[in-house]
Amino acid sequence: MKPLIAALSLLCATVATAEDALAPISGYAFMEPATRELQDDDFLNPAFFLVDKGLALWDQPASNTGLSCRSCHQTIEQDMKGVAARYPQYDLGQSRLMNLEMKINSEIVDRLGGTALAYESEELLALTALIGLQSRQMPMAVDVTVEAQDWLVRGKKIFETKRGQLNLSCKDCHQNHWGEKLRGDTISQGQINAFPIFRLTWGEAGSRHRMFTWCMESIRAAPYGPGSDEYLALELFLAVRGRGLPMEAPGVRR
Ligand code: HEC
Ligand code: HEC
């Protein structure tokens, strides 16, 4: 942990430069060529097994109702096109902000009569990856309705709040110091267009919320929970901040 602390105190000493206006750049641009190549080739991409698994789940009938996703959404390419690029979204029926994972779970419960999948389970990652893939190369295009405004304000505040033993905010690293080196990483803008990702240092796939937790733990702050309101608000803020970036799901990162 010592080298990280040393690197971070250096970070804190530098004066913040880039302010709020930010032309979004994908994390892809900050990766080594070898990592990019993994993402570029669906056969090499280690996250792609999720898509295959997602397809199997898509067709799997629920034990009680006999319905599957396919019963209603026959052509996934058509029905789910651009959907992932529009989440998180305020859901009037549920009176809350929902990200794609939550929407998938509500479909499982309300339409299939099934049981919600655990956040970060391989099944939920798989369906998220499958639906995410149908927005590949489409620009992130979240729409913040009136009802979602408070969530957005909350997310921005969380992004800017200094926290943890190292007293750093998301913004300190991902807005004020992107492009700089930190241990083996180049700090990116912290964009969310590639999720779910296969992270080579994890040796497995993870969601946006898992990444938030990783970052919070690395500055020794107490993380929020996956699926928590705080992470949802943060996700909405990041989706707005990244508007226009092409979707890359399922992505590969270092
Ligand atoms: C000490 C600096 C630091 C802080 C503070 C920090 N992160 Fe990160 N973050 C990193 C590093 C390093 C990585 C891995 C390399 C990269 O993609 O930037 C990363 C990666 C990410 C990614 C993945 C980007 C991609 O392209 O896949 C997201 C999203 C992210 N961070 C969000 C956050 C959020 C939200 C917060 C605040 C809760 C936060 N980070 C706080 C250093 C930081
Ligand atoms: C009984 C029919 C039915 C079944 C079964 C069903 N859906 Fe849906 N689904 C719908 C309808 C109708 C909509 C559009 C209305 C809405 O967004 O609530 C929808 C909307 C969605 C959306 C949101 C689309 C958007 O534009 O925001 C997603 C994502 C989705 N379904 C995924 C799934 C998944 C995954 C499954 C299987 C676990 C599934 N659905 C099963 C009928 C169904």
- Residue pair 49/43 in contact (Cβ under 8 Å)? The answer is no
| pLDDT the model gives residue 177 | 95
How much is the pLDDT for 22? 86
Distance 73 CA to ligand 2 centre (A): 7
Active site residue 69: no
Beta bridge partners of 141: none
The pick from 58, 60, 79, 107 for probing ligand 2's pocket by mutation, whose C-beta has the most ligand atoms within 8 angstroms, reads 107
Chunked into runs of 10 residues, the chain (254 residues) has average pLDDT values of 47 45 93 96 97 97 94 95 98 96 97 96 98 98 97 98 96 96 92 98 97 97 97 98 98 97
Grouping H, G, I as helix, E, B as strand and the rest as coil, residue 98 is: strand
Per residue in 198-246, pLDDT (tens digit) is: 999 999 999 999 999 999 999 999 999 999 999 999 999 999 999 999 9
Q: Which ligand is nearest to the CA of 157?
A: 1
Q: Give 53: exposed, middle or buried? Use CB within 10 Å, 0-12, 13-18, 19+.
A: middle
pLDDT computed for residue 7 by the predictor = 52
Q: Quote the tokens at residue 173.
A: 């690293």
Among 158, 166, 188, 252, say which to mutate for ligand 1: greatest number of ligand atoms within 8 Å of CB. Answer: 188
Q: Is 2-41+141-253 a CATH 1.10.760.10 domain?
A: yes
Residue 111, exposed/middle/buried by CB under 10 A (0-12, 13-18, 19+)? middle
Instruction: Please check whether the two domains, 2-41+141-253 and 49-133, share a CATH topology.
Output: yes
Domain ranges of the chain: 2-41+141-253, 49-133
Question: What is the DSSP code string of 212-233?
Answer: HHHHHHHTT-----TT-HHHHH
What is the structure's pLDDT at 14? 43
> CB of 97 within 8 A of CB of 230?
no
Q: How far is the CA of 170 from the centre of ligand 1 (A)?
A: 7
Q: What pLDDT score does 1 carry?
A: 38
CA of 186, closest atom in ligand 1:
15
Q: What is the pLDDT of residue 124?
A: 98
Provide the 3-class DSSP secondary structure of residue 119.
coil
Cis check for the bond before 33: say yes or no (omega within 30 of 0): no
The pLDDT, as a whole number, for residue 16 is 40
- Token code pair at residue 3: 């080298």
What is residue 184's predicted lDDT score, i.e. its pLDDT? 83
49-133: CATH topology: Cytochrome Bc1 Complex; Chain D, domain 2 (1.10.760)
Question: Model's pTM, two decimal places?
Answer: 0.94
Ligand nearest to the CA of 58: 2
Largest interatomic CA distance in the chain: 60
Cα(226) to centroid(ligand 1), Å: 16
Query: Which two three-digit tokens encode residue 158?
Result: 């969380």
Residue given tokens 């009136």 in the structure block: 146
Find out whether the beta carbon of 130 lies less than 6 Å from any atom of ligand 2.
no
CB 220 within 8 A of CB 229: no
